[in-house]
A and B are shown apart, each in its own frame.
Chain A
Amino acid sequence: MNKGWQITLILVLFGLFALFYQGLWGDPRHIPTVLIGTPAATFEGPDVETGQTISLDQFKGKVVLLNFWASWCYECKVEHEDILRLHQAFKDNPDFVMLGVNYQDKLPDAQKYLKDFGTTFSHVRDVKGQLAIDYGVYGVPETFVIDKEGIIRFKYVGPVMGPVYTNLTEHVIRPLLNSQPLASTPS
């Protein structure tokens, strides 16, 4: 067997090992979601602060941003200011709604978090974790954007800040609010 074949074989073996390594130990947060372009699962649950029932159905025909968070999540604290800034930027648009989804948390901890860090929009409690499963959530923070037709158009795992914030506001929310097609899959 000549040298060329040997090198090719070694490269193929290395590639296989890399694939197995990625499959076994890779971060699931980098796996592309299968939910983009699919109808958003409807849900209802209690408001973290008031206890009143919030349902996704009441926002039909609007662009809805869902942000999954928890009081024990460090990255949620990191993105919190930008999340508030994002709401501030679009809150006057009647076609825009922002909802926080409190995930795997204790109610007093979640309420304290909102009191300490402040909030300007509603947050629904995912009491049984069903909402997180319906949205294929791996961990928090995760952010979804649902268009006016109720289709999931964007998902991001991790804190929304910097270039992600710019992409989300300029290339996802604004086009969706103006009923413009998105340039590409912007997740």
Chain B
Amino acid sequence: MMIRAALLLLILFTFLPSVFADEVGETALDVQVREIAKTLRCTVCQTENIWESGAPLAKQMRDAIRERLELGQTEPEIRAYFLSRYGDYILMEPPKHGVNWLIWVAPFILLLVGGFFLYKEVVHWVKDTPTPPTQPLQPLDDQARKRLERELES
């Protein structure tokens, strides 16, 4: 009984949000506003796009996007407008030119450099670890051999 109830709750919580989302009925214009807003940074927030931000300026920017879409402007035109007002800072994803390339390649450089240092360090540890002195194996005497045979037979 408890398992059934838990399953029912799980199904409700999993599928109900999507049902409600359908009922909200996002228009094609809403989708376009959201897609553009997600790519633009809220200039009065820290690392937040204007779609997610609750700041008044972010809301006004979303309204400005909607108005421009209604006027027939395309997504690149709207992004270009914001870029012309705020510069590269407005873009959530820095454009791939000039010093911005550093942002794109630096993580991989850091990974390579880190990997190289790790490799060097591991090699160093392996080299420096003293190996225990090896002793030649003594042949089994008769008593030990007989005992071993007994153990294996039993």
Q: Nearest Cβ in chain B — how far from A128, in angstroms?
A: 6
B60 touches A34 (CB 8 A): no
Instruction: Out of B60, B85, B120, name the residue touching A128 (CB < 8 Å).
Output: B60
B85 touches A136 (CB 8 A): yes
B122 within 8 A of A: no
Q: Nearest Cβ in chain B — how far from A187, in angstroms?
A: 13
Beta-carbon contacts of B77-90 to A below 8 Å, as 1s and 0s? 00000101111010
A38 to B85, CA, bound (A): 10
Task: Count chain B residues whose beta carbon lies closer than 8 angstroms to a beta carbon of A.
Answer: 22
B85 touches A135 (CB 8 A): yes
Main secondary structure of the interface of B (DSSP, over half): helix
The residues in B between 18 and 74 inclusive whose CB is less than 8 angstroms from any CB of A are 43-44, 46-47, 56-57, 60-61, 63-64
Query: Which residues of chain A come closer than 8 Å to B113, judged between CB atoms?
Result: 9, 13
A104 touches B46 (CB 8 A): no
A139 within 8 A of B: yes
B85 touches A24 (CB 8 A): no
Knowing A24-B47, A128-B63, A133-B61, the reply to whether A16 touches B87 (Cβ < 8 A) is: no
The residues in A between 125 and 175 inclusive whose CB is less than 8 angstroms from any CB of B are 128-130, 132-136, 138-139
Nearest residue, chain A, Cβ from B55: A104
Instruction: Out of A1, A13, A31, A133, name the residue touching B89 (CB < 8 Å).
Output: A31
Which A residues have a C-beta under 8 Å from some C-beta of B? 1, 9, 13, 16, 19-20, 23-25, 28, 31-35, 38, 104, 128-130, 132-136, 138-139
Which B residues have a C-beta under 8 Å from some C-beta of A? 43-44, 46-47, 56-57, 60-61, 63-64, 82, 84-87, 89, 102-103, 106, 110, 113, 120
15 pairs from A and B in contact (CB 8 Å cutoff): A19-B102, A20-B106, A23-B103, A24-B46, A28-B44, A32-B87, A38-B84, A104-B60, A128-B63, A128-B64, A129-B56, A129-B61, A132-B60, A136-B87, A138-B43
